[in-house]
Amino acid sequence: MSAVQGTAERIGFVGVGRMGANMARRLRDVGYPVAAVFDARAETAQELATELGTEAVTTPAAVAERSDVVITVVTDDAAMDAIYSDRPDSLLAHAKGRVFINCATVTPSVHVETQRRVETGGGTSLEACMASSIPQARNGELYLMVGGRREAYDRVEPLLRQLSKRLRYIGDAGEAAKVKALVNMVMNINTCGLAEGLGLGDALGLDLTMLREVFSETGAASRVLETDGVDMQQREHDVYFSAAHAAKDSHIATALAHEKGLPLPLAEAAANQFDSMVERGLGELDKSGVAELTFASRRVRQLTTS
Protein backbone atom coordinates (compact mmCIF):
# COMPACT_ATOMS: atom_id res chain seq x y z
CA MET A 1 0.00 0.00 0.00
CA SER A 2 1.40 3.39 -1.00
CA ALA A 3 1.56 6.71 0.77
CA VAL A 4 -1.41 7.77 -1.31
CA GLN A 5 -3.40 4.99 0.34
CA GLY A 6 -2.43 5.93 3.85
CA THR A 7 1.07 4.71 4.69
CA ALA A 8 4.14 6.90 4.99
CA GLU A 9 6.83 5.09 3.02
CA ARG A 10 9.68 7.55 2.67
CA ILE A 11 11.16 8.13 -0.80
CA GLY A 12 14.71 9.24 -1.50
CA PHE A 13 16.29 10.30 -4.80
CA VAL A 14 19.86 9.96 -6.02
CA GLY A 15 20.25 11.93 -9.23
CA VAL A 16 17.86 14.86 -9.56
CA GLY A 17 18.53 16.21 -13.00
CA ARG A 18 15.69 16.77 -15.45
CA MET A 19 14.11 13.34 -15.05
CA GLY A 20 14.81 12.65 -11.39
CA ALA A 21 13.61 16.06 -10.26
CA ASN A 22 10.33 15.74 -12.10
CA MET A 23 9.73 12.26 -10.74
CA ALA A 24 10.29 13.65 -7.25
CA ARG A 25 7.84 16.48 -7.92
CA ARG A 26 5.25 14.00 -9.16
CA LEU A 27 5.52 11.76 -6.10
CA ARG A 28 5.36 14.75 -3.77
CA ASP A 29 2.23 15.95 -5.54
CA VAL A 30 0.44 12.62 -5.07
CA GLY A 31 1.28 12.37 -1.39
CA TYR A 32 4.56 10.52 -1.02
CA PRO A 33 7.01 12.04 1.48
CA VAL A 34 10.29 12.81 -0.27
CA ALA A 35 12.76 12.31 2.55
CA ALA A 36 16.06 13.32 0.97
CA VAL A 37 17.72 14.11 -2.36
CA PHE A 38 21.30 13.85 -3.56
CA ASP A 39 23.00 14.89 -6.77
CA ALA A 40 26.64 15.08 -7.81
CA ARG A 41 25.88 18.77 -8.40
CA ALA A 42 25.13 19.93 -4.90
CA GLU A 43 23.41 23.12 -6.03
CA THR A 44 20.95 21.11 -8.13
CA ALA A 45 19.99 18.99 -5.13
CA GLN A 46 19.65 22.03 -2.89
CA GLU A 47 17.37 23.87 -5.33
CA LEU A 48 15.02 20.90 -5.53
CA ALA A 49 15.13 20.31 -1.78
CA THR A 50 14.14 23.91 -1.17
CA GLU A 51 11.29 23.62 -3.64
CA LEU A 52 9.97 20.37 -2.16
CA GLY A 53 10.62 21.21 1.48
CA THR A 54 12.97 18.28 1.97
CA GLU A 55 16.65 17.77 2.73
CA ALA A 56 19.59 17.88 0.33
CA VAL A 57 22.21 15.50 1.67
CA THR A 58 25.87 15.15 0.79
CA THR A 59 26.15 11.40 0.17
CA PRO A 60 24.05 8.59 -1.31
CA ALA A 61 24.36 6.81 2.05
CA ALA A 62 22.49 9.65 3.72
CA VAL A 63 19.63 9.24 1.23
CA ALA A 64 19.32 5.53 2.01
CA GLU A 65 19.51 6.19 5.75
CA ARG A 66 16.48 8.50 5.58
CA SER A 67 14.41 6.49 3.09
CA ASP A 68 12.46 3.27 2.68
CA VAL A 69 12.58 3.36 -1.12
CA VAL A 70 15.42 4.98 -3.07
CA ILE A 71 15.00 5.96 -6.73
CA THR A 72 18.23 6.47 -8.66
CA VAL A 73 18.52 8.32 -11.98
CA VAL A 74 22.22 8.49 -12.83
CA THR A 75 24.12 8.88 -16.07
CA ASP A 76 25.96 5.68 -16.94
CA ASP A 77 27.60 2.42 -15.84
CA ALA A 78 30.38 4.21 -13.95
CA ALA A 79 27.91 6.31 -11.98
CA MET A 80 25.90 3.21 -11.03
CA ASP A 81 29.06 1.47 -9.89
CA ALA A 82 29.98 4.47 -7.76
CA ILE A 83 26.68 4.80 -5.91
CA TYR A 84 26.67 1.04 -5.19
CA SER A 85 30.37 0.77 -4.36
CA ASP A 86 31.94 -0.58 -1.16
CA ARG A 87 32.71 2.94 0.06
CA PRO A 88 31.08 3.96 3.34
CA ASP A 89 29.22 6.84 1.65
CA SER A 90 27.43 4.63 -0.92
CA LEU A 91 23.84 3.42 -0.89
CA LEU A 92 25.00 0.04 0.36
CA ALA A 93 25.82 1.56 3.75
CA HIS A 94 22.08 1.43 4.52
CA ALA A 95 20.78 -1.25 2.16
CA LYS A 96 19.06 -3.45 4.70
CA GLY A 97 15.29 -3.45 4.27
CA ARG A 98 15.35 -0.86 1.48
CA VAL A 99 14.11 -1.14 -2.09
CA PHE A 100 16.28 0.55 -4.70
CA ILE A 101 14.63 1.46 -8.02
CA ASN A 102 17.23 2.21 -10.68
CA CYS A 103 15.98 4.17 -13.67
CA ALA A 104 19.15 4.85 -15.64
CA THR A 105 19.77 3.27 -19.02
CA VAL A 106 22.88 1.20 -18.34
CA THR A 107 24.37 -2.10 -19.47
CA PRO A 108 22.08 -4.98 -18.43
CA SER A 109 24.89 -6.74 -16.57
CA VAL A 110 25.25 -3.66 -14.35
CA HIS A 111 21.69 -4.16 -13.09
CA VAL A 112 22.46 -7.82 -12.39
CA GLU A 113 25.55 -6.88 -10.40
CA THR A 114 23.66 -4.12 -8.58
CA GLN A 115 21.03 -6.62 -7.49
CA ARG A 116 23.76 -8.92 -6.17
CA ARG A 117 25.40 -6.14 -4.17
CA VAL A 118 22.13 -4.85 -2.74
CA GLU A 119 20.92 -8.31 -1.73
CA THR A 120 24.25 -9.01 -0.04
CA GLY A 121 23.52 -5.91 2.06
CA GLY A 122 20.01 -7.07 2.94
CA GLY A 123 18.01 -4.96 0.49
CA THR A 124 16.30 -5.46 -2.86
CA SER A 125 16.71 -3.70 -6.19
CA LEU A 126 14.79 -3.22 -9.41
CA GLU A 127 15.49 -1.65 -12.75
CA ALA A 128 12.68 0.63 -13.91
CA CYS A 129 13.69 1.59 -17.42
CA MET A 130 11.96 4.65 -18.81
CA ALA A 131 10.81 5.05 -22.41
CA SER A 132 9.56 8.62 -22.01
CA SER A 133 10.83 12.13 -21.44
CA ILE A 134 10.62 15.13 -19.12
CA PRO A 135 6.91 16.08 -19.45
CA GLN A 136 5.89 12.47 -18.85
CA ALA A 137 8.06 12.28 -15.74
CA ARG A 138 6.37 15.38 -14.36
CA ASN A 139 2.84 14.19 -15.14
CA GLY A 140 3.16 10.57 -14.02
CA GLU A 141 2.90 9.27 -17.58
CA LEU A 142 6.16 7.38 -18.00
CA TYR A 143 6.34 4.09 -19.87
CA LEU A 144 8.18 1.87 -17.38
CA MET A 145 9.76 -1.52 -18.02
CA VAL A 146 10.73 -3.23 -14.79
CA GLY A 147 13.18 -6.04 -14.05
CA GLY A 148 14.17 -7.74 -10.80
CA ARG A 149 12.67 -9.89 -8.08
CA ARG A 150 8.91 -10.18 -8.37
CA GLU A 151 8.43 -9.65 -4.63
CA ALA A 152 10.31 -6.35 -4.83
CA TYR A 153 8.15 -5.29 -7.76
CA ASP A 154 4.97 -6.17 -5.86
CA ARG A 155 6.08 -4.05 -2.90
CA VAL A 156 6.56 -0.87 -4.94
CA GLU A 157 4.02 -1.41 -7.72
CA PRO A 158 1.60 1.22 -6.32
CA LEU A 159 4.39 3.80 -6.32
CA LEU A 160 5.44 2.89 -9.87
CA ARG A 161 1.85 3.24 -11.03
CA GLN A 162 1.86 6.84 -9.78
CA LEU A 163 4.81 7.50 -12.08
CA SER A 164 3.57 5.70 -15.18
CA LYS A 165 0.79 5.46 -17.72
CA ARG A 166 2.02 2.01 -18.72
CA LEU A 167 3.86 -0.36 -16.41
CA ARG A 168 5.33 -3.65 -17.63
CA TYR A 169 7.07 -6.23 -15.47
CA ILE A 170 9.56 -7.86 -17.86
CA GLY A 171 11.35 -10.41 -15.68
CA ASP A 172 14.63 -10.97 -13.88
CA ALA A 173 17.33 -8.36 -13.34
CA GLY A 174 18.83 -7.20 -16.62
CA GLU A 175 15.92 -8.26 -18.80
CA ALA A 176 14.13 -4.91 -18.81
CA ALA A 177 17.45 -3.22 -19.54
CA LYS A 178 17.86 -5.39 -22.63
CA VAL A 179 14.42 -4.33 -23.86
CA LYS A 180 15.22 -0.66 -23.15
CA ALA A 181 18.50 -0.93 -25.06
CA LEU A 182 16.58 -2.17 -28.10
CA VAL A 183 13.92 0.54 -27.76
CA ASN A 184 16.57 3.24 -27.78
CA MET A 185 18.56 1.55 -30.54
CA VAL A 186 15.55 1.59 -32.89
CA MET A 187 14.60 5.13 -31.81
CA ASN A 188 18.11 6.39 -32.53
CA ILE A 189 18.18 4.71 -35.96
CA ASN A 190 14.81 6.31 -36.75
CA THR A 191 16.09 9.70 -35.59
CA CYS A 192 19.09 9.53 -37.89
CA GLY A 193 16.95 8.30 -40.77
CA LEU A 194 14.49 11.15 -40.36
CA ALA A 195 17.34 13.69 -40.24
CA GLU A 196 18.71 12.31 -43.49
CA GLY A 197 15.30 12.38 -45.15
CA LEU A 198 14.68 15.99 -44.18
CA GLY A 199 18.25 16.93 -45.00
CA LEU A 200 17.96 15.51 -48.51
CA GLY A 201 14.55 17.15 -48.91
CA ASP A 202 16.13 20.47 -48.00
CA ALA A 203 18.93 19.94 -50.52
CA LEU A 204 16.34 19.17 -53.21
CA GLY A 205 14.49 22.41 -52.46
CA LEU A 206 11.35 20.70 -51.16
CA ASP A 207 8.95 22.32 -48.72
CA LEU A 208 9.80 20.55 -45.47
CA THR A 209 6.41 21.11 -43.88
CA MET A 210 4.80 19.42 -46.84
CA LEU A 211 7.39 16.66 -46.71
CA ARG A 212 6.72 15.98 -43.03
CA GLU A 213 2.99 15.79 -43.74
CA VAL A 214 3.59 13.26 -46.52
CA PHE A 215 5.88 11.26 -44.26
CA SER A 216 3.17 11.16 -41.60
CA GLU A 217 0.65 9.64 -44.04
CA THR A 218 2.95 7.01 -45.56
CA GLY A 219 5.43 4.32 -44.64
CA ALA A 220 7.86 7.03 -43.50
CA ALA A 221 5.69 7.75 -40.46
CA SER A 222 7.21 7.16 -37.01
CA ARG A 223 6.96 8.34 -33.44
CA VAL A 224 10.25 10.15 -33.97
CA LEU A 225 8.61 12.13 -36.79
CA GLU A 226 6.01 13.29 -34.26
CA THR A 227 8.51 14.24 -31.56
CA ASP A 228 11.50 15.50 -33.57
CA GLY A 229 10.36 16.47 -37.07
CA VAL A 230 9.42 20.08 -36.38
CA ASP A 231 12.49 20.55 -34.17
CA MET A 232 14.77 19.33 -36.96
CA GLN A 233 13.12 21.65 -39.48
CA GLN A 234 13.18 24.70 -37.21
CA ARG A 235 16.56 23.97 -35.54
CA GLU A 236 14.99 23.88 -32.08
CA HIS A 237 17.09 21.42 -30.12
CA ASP A 238 16.18 22.11 -26.50
CA VAL A 239 17.16 18.92 -24.76
CA TYR A 240 14.65 16.24 -23.89
CA PHE A 241 16.96 13.34 -24.70
CA SER A 242 20.52 14.44 -25.32
CA ALA A 243 22.76 13.37 -28.16
CA ALA A 244 25.31 12.25 -25.56
CA HIS A 245 22.74 9.88 -24.06
CA ALA A 246 21.79 8.69 -27.54
CA ALA A 247 25.44 7.85 -28.21
CA LYS A 248 25.78 5.99 -24.91
CA ASP A 249 22.59 4.02 -25.40
CA SER A 250 23.44 3.12 -28.99
CA HIS A 251 26.74 1.67 -27.81
CA ILE A 252 24.97 -0.40 -25.13
CA ALA A 253 22.92 -2.04 -27.89
CA THR A 254 25.85 -2.56 -30.27
CA ALA A 255 27.91 -4.10 -27.45
CA LEU A 256 25.11 -6.59 -26.81
CA ALA A 257 25.10 -7.40 -30.52
CA HIS A 258 28.85 -7.91 -30.54
CA GLU A 259 28.50 -10.37 -27.65
CA LYS A 260 26.15 -12.41 -29.85
CA GLY A 261 28.26 -12.03 -32.99
CA LEU A 262 25.42 -10.19 -34.71
CA PRO A 263 26.24 -7.38 -37.18
CA LEU A 264 24.00 -4.32 -36.83
CA PRO A 265 25.19 -1.83 -39.47
CA LEU A 266 22.34 0.65 -38.97
CA ALA A 267 22.81 0.74 -35.20
CA GLU A 268 26.55 1.24 -35.70
CA ALA A 269 25.92 4.07 -38.15
CA ALA A 270 23.54 5.80 -35.73
CA ALA A 271 26.07 5.46 -32.91
CA ASN A 272 28.69 7.05 -35.16
CA GLN A 273 26.40 10.00 -35.90
CA PHE A 274 25.77 10.73 -32.23
CA ASP A 275 29.46 10.21 -31.45
CA SER A 276 30.17 12.85 -34.08
CA MET A 277 27.84 15.27 -32.31
CA VAL A 278 29.64 14.70 -29.03
CA GLU A 279 33.02 15.20 -30.69
CA ARG A 280 31.81 18.51 -32.17
CA GLY A 281 30.70 19.75 -28.75
CA LEU A 282 27.01 19.23 -29.48
CA GLY A 283 26.39 16.34 -27.10
CA GLU A 284 24.11 18.35 -24.84
CA LEU A 285 21.74 19.24 -27.66
CA ASP A 286 18.64 17.13 -28.03
CA LYS A 287 19.07 14.07 -30.27
CA SER A 288 17.07 15.99 -32.90
CA GLY A 289 20.26 18.02 -33.34
CA VAL A 290 21.65 15.17 -35.45
CA ALA A 291 19.91 17.02 -38.30
CA GLU A 292 22.70 19.58 -38.06
CA LEU A 293 24.97 16.93 -39.58
CA THR A 294 22.69 16.17 -42.53
CA PHE A 295 21.51 19.56 -43.83
CA ALA A 296 23.96 20.87 -46.44
CA SER A 297 22.58 24.38 -45.88
CA ARG A 298 23.63 24.39 -42.22
CA ARG A 299 26.95 24.99 -40.56
CA VAL A 300 27.35 22.84 -37.46
CA ARG A 301 30.16 24.96 -36.10
CA GLN A 302 27.75 27.90 -35.73
CA LEU A 303 25.39 25.98 -33.46
CA THR A 304 26.36 25.87 -29.80
CA THR A 305 24.95 24.18 -26.73
CA SER A 306 24.86 27.37 -24.67
Task: List pLDDT tens digits, range 30-69.
Answer: 999 999 999 999 999 999 999 999 999 999 999 999 999 9
Instruction: Give dist(CA 75, CA 275) in Å, integer.
Output: 16
Q: What is the pLDDT of residue 55?
A: 98
Q: What is the pLDDT of residue 305?
A: 45
Task: List pLDDT tens digits, range 266-297.
Answer: 999 999 999 999 999 999 999 999 999 999 98
Residue 52's contacts (CB-CB under 8 Å, 6 or more residues apart) are 24, 25, 28, 34, 37
Task: List pLDDT tens digits, range 110-137.
Answer: 999 999 999 999 999 999 999 988 999 9
pLDDT at 195 over 60: yes
Instruction: Give dist(CA 16, CA 57) in Å, integer.
Output: 12
> Model confidence at 263, in pLDDT bands (50, 70, 90)?
very high
What does the pLDDT average to over 16-26? 97
Domains contained in the chain, CATH given: 3-173 (3.40.50.720), 178-302 (1.10.1040.10)
Task: List pLDDT tens digits, range 222-256.
Answer: 999 999 999 999 999 999 999 999 999 999 999 99
Return the beta strands (E) in the chain as ranges: 11-14, 34-38, 55-56, 69-72, 99-102, 124-130, 142-148, 164-171
CA dihedral 203, 205, 206, 207 (to 10 degrees): 110
What percentage of the chain exceeds 70 in pLDDT? 95
DSSP-based three-state secondary structure for 10 = coil
Region class of 184: left (phi > 0), else alpha (psi between -120 and 50), else beta: alpha
Q: What is the pTM of this model?
A: 0.91
CA dihedral 218, 220, 221, 222 (to 10 degrees): 160
Instruction: Give dist(CA 49, CA 86) in Å, integer.
Output: 27
Are 143 and 132 contacting, i.e. CB atoms less than 8 angstroms apart? Answer: yes
Q: Could you tell me the CA-to-CA distances from 266 to 86, 193, 227 in Å, in that order?
A: 39, 10, 21
Q: Which of 138, 131, 114, 22 is nearest to 37 (CA)?
A: 22
Q: What is the pLDDT of residue 303?
A: 52
